[in-house]
């Protein structure tokens, strides 16, 4: 329960292991997409120039996800509905 409060942990206790993994995958993908959005079309040297040698380390304000996330969520919904 690293960093998760007990009441938050109980909220997900009824989910199967597969459901928890899927939720984690979707959440991780959305976060990665939002982090990558500001540098999506930049070359490595441009990223280093703008953000330093380590690149983006924090989510910039107003950095929503991209169409990649939208498409992934639509596909996930379709798969869950049996399309």
Q: What distance in Å separates the CA atoms of residue 67 and residue 83, rounded to the nearest whole number?
A: 21
Q: 29 a known binding residue?
A: no
Is 33 annotated in a binding site? The answer is no
Q: 66 among the known binding-site residues?
A: yes
With beta carbons less than 8 A apart as the criterion, state whether 35 and 61 touch: no
Tokens 């990665």 sit at which residue? 32
Q: Which residues are part of a known binding site for Mg(2+)?
A: 66-68
Q: Which residues are part of a known binding site?
A: 66-68
């Amino acid at each position: 329960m690293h960093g998760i409060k007990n009441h938050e942990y109980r909220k997900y206790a009824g989910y199967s292991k597969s459901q928890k993994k899927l939720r984690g995958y979707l959440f991780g993908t959305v976060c990665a997409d939002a982090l990558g959005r500001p540098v999506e079309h930049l070359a490595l040297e441009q990223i280093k120039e703008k953000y330093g040698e380590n690149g983006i380390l924090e989510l910039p304000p107003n950095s929503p996800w991209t169409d990649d996330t939208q498409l992934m969520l639509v596909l996930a919904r379709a798969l869950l509905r049996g399309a």
